[in-house]
Structure formats: structure tokens, C-alpha cells
């Protein structure tokens, strides 16, 4: 974990010494992500991507000095609620950015939005807030959870896979992933395996896969779960005969641990490090120079979250008292996204392009996902029609 001692020190100091008159002269942003346990790599990417954006903005957001306060939700709903209340009540943050996991978002969504503080999710995008429960204080710089999985369902259907085995964790995002995959896939689902969140031993499921011999496996296993699954899949001798279509199972947060075992596995994403546009290339180079690792979508979406906040604060001239004006500025999304085409739908979730990606080993020995083909263009989620916002 690379949590900046300087940032933490500033946060602690601010809680003791900052006077109200000075507080108005800076923008305070709370970042709450998972920074402990097997999923810590995901949270680190969000934290580092966001901090890099603030650094690239000269330490300012919307022209005002920025202070970032980082909190670890520990992947525990009770801890997430406690930490986010600390950000709101003690640190008095103007924006909350996070979290990684949908169950953590469901824990903090109400306390943040009911306090009329803007919540920007750089990763979690459950269906539950995309439709009737959309909220003017909630914005997502990633996607609606189903969409990334829809990519793999469309690819499985287009490639003629007749029989597919589904393997996901048993929580909201896992259920969303299955729903997303099934939207376009019309073949036979051999089995739907739902395993407890943070499962690290997949031998029972791998035995079933070896027995059923499906045409492909679809899986969504973020963080440490994905690391173990990919290694065990390779060790079981399945990687060369049964292709894996995955979301968040093989990406830049897990590849440093998976390495060669993941090469050739497919994924779905709204971006990849080899996307060919100037802003993205500059970001990738800057991230690798700062953190000596390859950024994934978590880092990219967090960087965009900072640019989004910067654009909104700038649009209202630094005056955050008019919440309607801030909401309108956020909804406008007047910034250049690292992914290129980006705008908000009526529900605060993006309309954007989506890609099939494949894991590759670079000439420098590092691993990254690379774009194979564009699967959806300017694609909005199917729940936005149920959102009352216009």
C-alpha cells in the first residue's frame, strides 16, 4: 500500500487547525476505497489515479487548493459507513469519491447523498441506482455494472459458443454480471456458480468445468479472487482448451500477480492502456513513471473523476453552496475524458464506447490488456429510462 503519509498528515492536521475562513478557500475531497486485504490493489489504483490527476492539475481543483483525505473501507459495510461519516462530519469534505465494490456503495450511498454531498463512483455502478433510485447527488465515471458483462455475452454469441459456464461471486455486482452477460447470449448456460465474496479456492468449480467441458467460461472475479482463479485455472490445464471471457478478472490490478497465466485471456472494458489518443497516452506514461505499474480502468476512471470535479468547481466559480448549480455542472461533464467519447445519461451514468480486450505481455516484460475490437459505441445503460431525472 502506498497511502501518502503527507496526505494523511495533512488530513489529520486540517481536522485540528483549519479555521472556517480557510476551509472555504480549499476543496476537500474524501476518497474511500478498499486498501486492505486481497482487493487492496484495486483501491490503490483508484487512489493513485485520483492523486495523479490532482497533481497534474497543479494541486488545485477548479482553481482552488485541493486536499484529498483517503479512507480504507476494509471491504466491510459497517466500516465503510463509519469511515464515510468521518469524512462527512469530521473532515467536512465537499465531495466523496469511491468505492470499489457495489456492496460498499450500497452502504455509503444514503449517508452521503442524504447529507447533500456529491458522491462520485469511479468504479461501482450497480443497477439499483441507475433507474428509479437515481439521485442528483450521485454520479458514476465507470459504467453501469451490467454493461461490461454485456460485452462478453455479445462476443460469446457472435463467436458461436453453444455452451457457457458462468462463475461469479454472490453479491450485487456478481448478480448484475450474470444479468448483463445473458442480455445478448442466447446459448445454453451449463451452470451458474455463485461463490462467497473473497473465495480463494476454486477447485470444486474447476472440477465441474473440467467435467462439463463448456465451449467457454464467463467469470467476474475482481482482485485476489481473480488472481487465484486464473492461476488455478492454468494449473488445472484448462487454459489451453476452454477460453475465458472475463470482466475484472484479468486486468492491470491483478496482472502483476497473474503474469503469464493470464496471457491470452479476454476481458471487457471501457478503456485499455493501449487506447490511441493523446490524453490517454500522457496519462499512462505519467502513471507508470509515478507508480512503476501499468494503470487499469480503476485508475483511469478515478483520474476522470478528478477531472469531472475540477470541471464542475470551475463552472460554478468555486461556489459550492448552490447544489443545483453544482449538479448541473457535474451532469454537463465538461472535460476531456481519457477514454475519448464520454457524456452522462439522464441517470448520472456514462454513455460511452466498450471494447473486447486481451491480455498481452509487453516487450518490457510488463503485462497489460489491449483492445481487440470495439463491441458497443456510445452505449447507455438500459435502466436510464426509469430515472425521473431529465
pLDDT value at residue 341:
86
Region(s) of the chain under CATH 3.40.50.2300: 5-143+276-352, 146-269
Distance CA(8)–CA(13), nearest Å, equals 9
**Mind listing the pLDDT tens digit for each residue in 347-388?**
999 999 999 999 999 999 999 999 999 999 999 999 999 999
**Mind listing the pLDDT tens digit for each residue in 166-196?**
999 998 889 989 999 999 999 999 999 999 9
pLDDT value at residue 23:
37
pLDDT value at residue 227:
94
- Least confident range of 8-12, 77-81, 148-152, 282-286: 8-12
Q: Mean pLDDT throughout 267-275?
A: 97
Residue 97 has pLDDT above 90, yes or no: yes
Q: Mean pLDDT throughout 280-285?
A: 98
**Mind listing the pLDDT tens digit for each residue in 1-44?**
344 444 444 443 344 333 333 335 899 999 999 999 888 999 99
CATH dotted code for 5-143+276-352:
3.40.50.2300
**Three-state SS for 189?**
strand
Partnered with residue 344 across adjacent β-strands are 350
Distance CA(202)–CA(267), nearest Å, equals 20
Q: Mean pLDDT throughout 245-252?
A: 94
DSSP 124-166: ---GGGTSTT--TTEEESS--HHHHHHHHHHHHHHTT--EEEE
Q: How many Cβ atoms sit within 10 Å of the Cβ of residue 288?
A: 15
Residue 118 has pLDDT above 90, yes or no: yes
pLDDT value at residue 176:
83
pLDDT value at residue 6:
40
Residue 389 has pLDDT above 90, yes or no: no
Residue 214 has pLDDT above 50, yes or no: yes
pLDDT value at residue 25:
83
Q: Mean pLDDT throughout 96-102?
A: 95
**Three-state SS for 194?**
strand
Confidence of residue 241 (pLDDT cuts 50, 70, 90): very high
Residues of the chain with pLDDT > 90: what percent? 87
CATH architecture of 146-269: 3-Layer(aba) Sandwich (3.40)
Q: Mean pLDDT throughout 122-144?
A: 96
248 and 258 in contact (C-beta within 8 Å)?
no
Q: What predicted TM-score, i.e. pTM, was given to this entire model?
A: 0.89
Greatest alpha-carbon span in the chain: 68
169 and 199 in contact (C-beta within 8 Å)?
yes
Closest to 75 in 3D by CA, of 116, 122, 43: 43
Distance CA(159)–CA(218), nearest Å, equals 14
Per-chain mean pLDDT for the chain: 93
Amino acid at each position: 500500500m502506498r497511502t501518502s503519509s503527507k496526505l494523511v498528515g495533512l488530513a489529520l492536521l486540517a481536522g485540528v487547525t483549519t479555521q472556517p475562513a480557510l476551509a472555504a478557500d480549499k476543496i476537500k475531497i474524501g476518497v474511500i476505497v478498499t486498501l486492505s486485504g486481497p482487493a487492496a490493489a484495486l483501491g490503490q489504483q483508484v487512489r493513485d489515479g485520483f492523486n495523479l490527476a490532482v497533481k497534474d492539475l497543479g494541486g488545485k481543483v477548479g482553481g482552488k487548493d485541493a486536499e484529498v483525505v483517503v479512507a480504507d473501507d476494509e471491504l466491510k459495510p459497517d466500516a465503510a459507513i463509519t469511515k464515510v461519516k468521518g469524512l462527512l462530519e469530521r473532515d467536512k469534505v465537499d465531495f466523496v469519491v469511491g468505492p470499489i465494490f457495489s456492496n460498499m456503495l450500497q452502504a455509503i450511498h444514503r449517508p452521503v447523498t442524504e447529507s447533500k454531498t456529491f458522491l462520485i463512483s469511479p468504479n461501482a455502478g450497480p443497477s439499483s441506482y441507475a433507474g428509479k433510485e437515481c439521485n442528483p447527488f450521485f454520479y458514476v465515471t465507470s459504467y453501469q455494472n451490467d454493461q461490461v458483462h454485456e460485452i462478453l455475452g455479445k462476443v460469446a454469441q457472435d463467436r458461436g459458443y453453444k455452451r457457457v459456464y458462468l462463475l461469479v461471486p454472490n453479491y450485487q455486482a456478481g448478480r448484475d454480471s450474470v444479468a448483463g452477460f445473458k442480455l445478448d447470449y442466447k446459448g445454453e448456460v451449463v451452470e451458474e456458480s455463485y461463490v462467497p465474496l473473497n473465495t480463494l479456492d476454486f477447485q470444486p468449480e474447476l472440477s465441474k468445468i473440467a467435467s462439463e467441458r463448456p465451449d467457454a467460461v464467463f467469470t467476474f472475479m475482481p482482485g485476489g479472487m481473480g488472481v487465484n482463479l486464473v492461476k488455478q485455472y492454468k494449473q488445472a490445464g484448462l487454459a489451453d482448451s476452454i477460453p475465458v471471457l472475463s470482466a475484472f478478472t484479468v486486468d492491470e490490478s491483478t496482472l502483476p500477480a497473474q503474469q503469464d497465466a493470464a496471457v491470452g485471456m479476454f476481458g471487457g472494458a471501457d478503456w485499455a492502456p493501449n487506447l490511441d489518443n493523446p490524453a490517454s497516452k500522457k496519462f499512462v506514461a505519467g502513471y507508470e513513471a509515478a507508480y512503476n505499474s501499468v494503470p487499469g480502468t480503476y485508475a483511469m476512471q478515478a483520474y476522470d473523476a478528478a477531472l469531472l470535479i475540477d470541471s464542475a468547481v470551475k463552472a460554478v466559480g468555486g461556489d459550492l453552496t448552490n447544489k443545483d448549480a453544482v449538479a448541473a455542472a457535474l451532469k454537463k461533464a465538461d472535460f476531456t475524458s481519457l477514454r475519448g467519447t464520454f457524456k452522462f445519461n439522464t441517470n448520472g451514468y456514462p454513455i460511452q464506447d466498450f471494447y473486447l480486450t486481451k491480455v498481452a505481455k509487453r516487450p518490457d516484460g510488463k503485462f497489460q490488456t489491449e483492445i481487440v475490437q470495439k463491441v458497443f459505441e456510445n452505449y447507455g445503460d438500459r435502466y436510464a429510462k426509469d430515472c425521473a431525472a431529465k
